[in-house]
């Protein structure tokens, strides 16, 4: 499959998507988002893929939704065709997704990174929700996912002033899982994805599902949900293999069964 605005490759059990609109700093337009969703859904269906990395360029992960595409849009059009409504489908991908962010992750770019399961940032990364400077507000989860990630004070600061935060501030705030030197970004993200892809896939899916439920459920319901999934994994061959391998001091050979 050839794409116009993204590059797609596989590295063993890892799917790698590189956003590729360099002249527009990877601004997210309809074509790019349609291609990205198609690529992610194909990886989701591919049994050989265990985890996905989404990245951009050294200068920009993505500098937001494409302002030039949105500029002339009116309310009725935006509302009637639920403009960008489908873009949230990135968050329905069941396999773990890592955002490997260097340079700008602004507006929709920051929102796309937050739809991934975690963010590994280069020391050059800059995050922000600058929509307020354009007379609008975040539209793909910026006020919601960012607030859950960093808390009200910093989310308000970023959404109301439009300022950017650097990688260190983003890590301190809890938006970013780790920071690495820019030249080690892809390698580190792929290595993390390979590690995930090497585990028993039913347990990987359930771990992701269970962490995600923490944002939807009460603590008591979330803990019950987690325990039921935990119980269910005792029905897998991989749980027997994992615990037997530990006892026998060898590496587990998971079969995803
Ligand atoms: N949309 C369209 N084109 C863009 C965008 C963008 N978001 N960002 C940069 N570009 C283009 C520029 O227009 C420029 O093109 P040209 O050479 O043809 O003039 C090219 O990329 C390079 O950009 P700059 O010359 O501006 O590069 P600088 O290094 O001087 O500045 C910045 C980099 C600071 C990142 C600057 O480009 C900038 O401020 N960009 C806009 C950032 C922004 O406001 N983002 C939010 C967009 S709104 C949004 O995301 C709404 C979210 C709603 C849902 C999202 C769903 C995904």
Helix (H, G, I), strand (E, B) or coil at 15: strand
- Which atom of ligand 1 lies closest to the CA of 29? 57
Residue keyed to tokens 């301190």: 172
In this structure, are residues 84 and 46 in contact, taking their beta carbons and an 8 Å threshold? no
pLDDT in tens, 143-200: 999 999 999 999 999 999 999 999 999 999 999 999 999 999 999 999 999 999 999 9
Helix (H, G, I), strand (E, B) or coil at 4: coil
> What value, to the nearest 5°, has the Cα angle with vertex 222 and ends 217 and 227?
160
Is residue 178 lining ligand 1, measured as CB closer than 6 Å?
A: no
Q: What is the pLDDT of residue 134?
A: 98
Is 142 one of the annotated active-site residues of the chain?
no
Is residue 138 lining ligand 1, measured as CB closer than 6 Å?
A: yes
ipTM, 2 decimals?
A: 0.97
Among protein residues, the one whose CA lies closest to atom 55 of ligand 1: 108
- Cα end-to-end span (Å), the chain: 30
- Which atom of ligand 1 lies closest to the CA of 25? 21
What residue ranges in 186-233 does DSSP mark as E strands? none
Is 111 one of the annotated active-site residues of the chain?
yes
- Residue of 80, 115, 119 whose CA lies nearest to 98: 119
| Integer Cα distance of 51 and 44 in angstroms | 9
Model pTM above 0.95? yes
pLDDT less than 50: residues of the chain = none
| Integer Cα distance of 157 and 243 in angstroms | 47
Q: What is the pLDDT of residue 1?
A: 78
- Residue of 177, 193, 184, 212 whose CA lies nearest to 53: 193
Is residue 56 lining ligand 1, measured as CB closer than 6 Å?
A: no
Residue keyed to tokens 């790698």: 16
- The helix (run of H) or strand (run of E) holding residue 17 is strand 14-19
Q: How far is the CA of 10 from the centre of ligand 1 (A)?
A: 29
């Amino acid at each position: 499959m050839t794409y116009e605005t993204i590059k797609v490759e596989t590295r063993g059990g890892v799917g790698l998507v590189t956003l590729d609109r360099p002249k527009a700093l990877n601004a997210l337009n309809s074509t790019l988002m349609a291609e990205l969703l198609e690529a992610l859904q194909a990886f989701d269906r591919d049994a050989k893929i265990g985890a996905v990395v989404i990245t951009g360029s050294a200068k920009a992960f993505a500098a937001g939704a494409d302002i030039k595409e949105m500029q002339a849009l009116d309310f009725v059009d935006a509302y009637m065709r639920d403009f960008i409504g489908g873009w949230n489908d990135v968050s329905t991908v069941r396999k773990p997704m890592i955002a490997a962010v260097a340079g700008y992750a602004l507006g929709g770019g920051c929102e796309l990174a937050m739809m991934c399961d975690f963010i590994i940032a280069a020391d050059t990364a800059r995050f922000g929700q600058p929509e307020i400077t354009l007379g609008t507000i975040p539209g793909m989860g910026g006020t919601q996912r960012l607030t859950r990630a960093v808390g009200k004070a910093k989310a308000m600061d970023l959404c109301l002033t439009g300022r950017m935060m650097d990688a260190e501030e983003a890590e301190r705030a809890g938006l970013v899982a780790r920071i690495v030197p820019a030249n080690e970004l892809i390698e580190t993200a792929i290595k993390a994805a390979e590690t995930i892809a090497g585990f028993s896939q039913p347990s990987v899916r359930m771990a992701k599902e269970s962490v995600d439920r923490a944002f939807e459920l009460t603590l008591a319901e979330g803990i019950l949900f987690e325990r039921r999934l935990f119980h269910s994994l005792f029905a897998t061959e991989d749980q027997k293999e994992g615990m037997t391998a530990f006892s026998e001091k060898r590496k587990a050979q998971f079969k995803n069964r």
